[in-house]
Chains A and B, each alone.
Chain A
Amino acid sequence: MCEKSKVASQQQIDEAFPADGRLAKGPAAIIECFQRIPCNPCFAACKRKAIKEFNDINDLPIIDHDACNGCGMCIVKCPGLAIMVVDAGYSAHEALIKIPYEFVPLPNKTQILNGLDREGKYICDVIVRDVWDSKTLDKTPIISFSVPIEYIKNVRNISMKS
């Protein structure tokens, strides 16, 4: 993110996404953390060590997308809620996105919601596919929803239809 224009630039987003073809094989974590701050729990969260160990806790996280299986544990551990999991192999026309969602009420499976971009603008309708809210998640529920595949890099948030 740039402190003046504020949301992540296209270049930053492209760098956070893995190389072409990886997401079609299955889910992977996308870490949108672009500023050096003292923070490293994402490393400890990953059981597969896909997120590299930090030399300095102010370093930006580095993820090996081939080692990542998109389990999503890092989603709930990131204090900045900067991580989502994306799966472009979900279906021919849709991608699956998993995000942290710390609001009530939680949506239900099959519910249709608004898919929003990084500025909160409506992009498209999305369909809730799953909702996780267990004690392990420590009050950071995860919502997975499907989006039309062309919006895979645009949709970053959801909101209820009024």
Chain B
Amino acid sequence: MIEVEVLVIGGGPAGLCAAINAAQAGAQVLVLERHELPGGQLVKQTHMFFGSEKQYASVRGVDIAPKLIDKIAKLDKINLETQATALGIYEDGVVTAEIKGVYTHIKPKRIIVATGASEKTLVFPNNDLPGIYGAGAVQTLMNVYGVKPGNNVLMVGAGNIGLIVSYQLAQAGVKIKAIIDAAPKIGGYLVHAAKVQRMGIPILTGYTVKEAVGTDCIQKAVIVKLDENWQPVEGTEIEYEVDVMCIAVGLSPLAELLWQAGCDMKYISELSGFVPVRTKMLETSVKGMYVAGDVCGVEEATSAMVEGYLAGLAAAESLGYKNEIMAEKRQDYIDQLEALRGGHIGKKILSGLKKVTI
């Protein structure tokens, strides 16, 4: 049985920042990251971040991960385990995990769940043809492993992920036939849209996928226009010859551990799925269990980092670790989150958070 003060499940931006803050406050921390590389989504984000200096604005995601990992390496109160998958959280407070093939029991005093989110899919005929990927999966293939997914792409979804991955595909020499979105408006940042539009990539709003066509893999994608009631309009079909379709229709929090642990969960569409009810300091309805990042509401890596810092601080403080600058730091994180949520996307997030923050 491994006894630890703070267990952080997830080594992405939220988890790494939570670990840093908990350790800096004095707590002993174990981080479990299931991949070989820590960093979560950061490791494939070759684009520059927005936000402000505190959230590494203008720094590329791929460059932020090493900075955080470096900070962690210098803090000997943190043990960062990779190839470590959390398997379950039990009623007696024991967390089981598989760490590099070894089944392990952990008894933590506090838990921070920062497991992120996974890609949603879309239902249409032949949506299981090889060549149809989640956009995030394509981003990983390209940016982490240097593998080109194909040559001609239809991107489904004009949110930030759809727009950014289209740009990155174009950087890799892949042709984007079109970006479509069922919504009447582009959901992502208009500066991201402008980058791809000035390359001649058309963005069609109000369109959805009718079907994919192909025998062993996708060869054609057929899209169709939607009316104001989201119904397909006959005769408006457009066909594209593609060997790749990327689905970028949003993410869903990976909340299984929270369900198992008995957290109060609510379905909040603005936060992209079932999320835990939590306090302002990110503690769930299960005492001693905290959350940070996409698992408690799909947002951005910038806010994930700040939530991580906040949860790490709160967990350490609840263990009795206190110092003079904690209150100031805490207020700073709250202010940063407020600033990050000041735009149009933030409005939606805030409305969702109101429904789950106690």
Contact = CB atoms under 8 A, between A and B. Distances in A.
A155 B248 CA distance: 30
A67 B49 CA distance: 27
Interface of B: 47-53, 57-58, 60, 170-171, 184-186, 189-195, 197-201, 203, 205, 302, 339-346
A57 B60 CA distance: 19
Contacts of A6: 186, 190, 193, 197, 203, 205
B120 to A, nearest CB: 22
Contact of A57 (B51, B171, B189, B345): B51
Contacts of A20: none
Contacts of B50: 37-39, 79-80
Given A119-B197, A120-B200, A157-B199, A41 B191 contact: no
Given A37-B343, A39-B57, A102-B171, A3 B186 contact: yes
B184 A4 contact: yes
B194 A32 contact: yes
Indicate the member of A1, A37, A38, A157 with the most B CB atoms within 10 Å: A38
Contact of A118 (B53, B198, B203, B344): B198
A129 interface: no
Given A37-B343, A58-B343, A116 B198 contact: yes
Contact of B194 (A40, A79, A118): A118
Nearest to A100: B195
A7 B186 contact: no
B184 A7 contact: no
A156 interface: yes
Contact of B58 (A56, A77, A116): A77
Interface in A33-48: 33-41, 44-45
A8 interface: yes
Contact of B171 (A3, A77, A103, A118): A103
A84 to B, nearest CB: 11
Contacts of B205: 3-4, 6
Contacts of A41: 52-53, 57-58
B340 A3 contact: no
Interface in A120-154: 120-121, 138-140
A117 interface: yes
A39 B51 contact: yes
A156 B198 contact: yes
A62 interface: no
A3 B185 CA distance: 5
A120 B185 contact: no
A113 interface: no
Nearest to A56: B342
Contacts of B58: 41, 45, 77-79, 138
Contact of A35 (B53, B190, B199, B203): B190
Contacts of B48: 77-79, 140
Contacts of A102: 171
A24 interface: no
A112 interface: no
A57 B191 contact: no
Given A1-B190, A79-B50, A102-B171, 19 more contacts: A35-B343, A35-B344, A37-B345, A38-B50, A38-B51, A38-B346, A39-B52, A39-B57, A40-B57, A44-B57, A57-B52, A58-B343, A58-B346, A78-B48, A79-B49, A79-B58, A116-B198, A120-B201, A138-B58
13 contacts: A3-B185, A4-B184, A6-B193, A35-B189, A37-B344, A38-B302, A57-B339, A58-B342, A79-B58, A80-B191, A103-B170, A117-B198, A140-B48
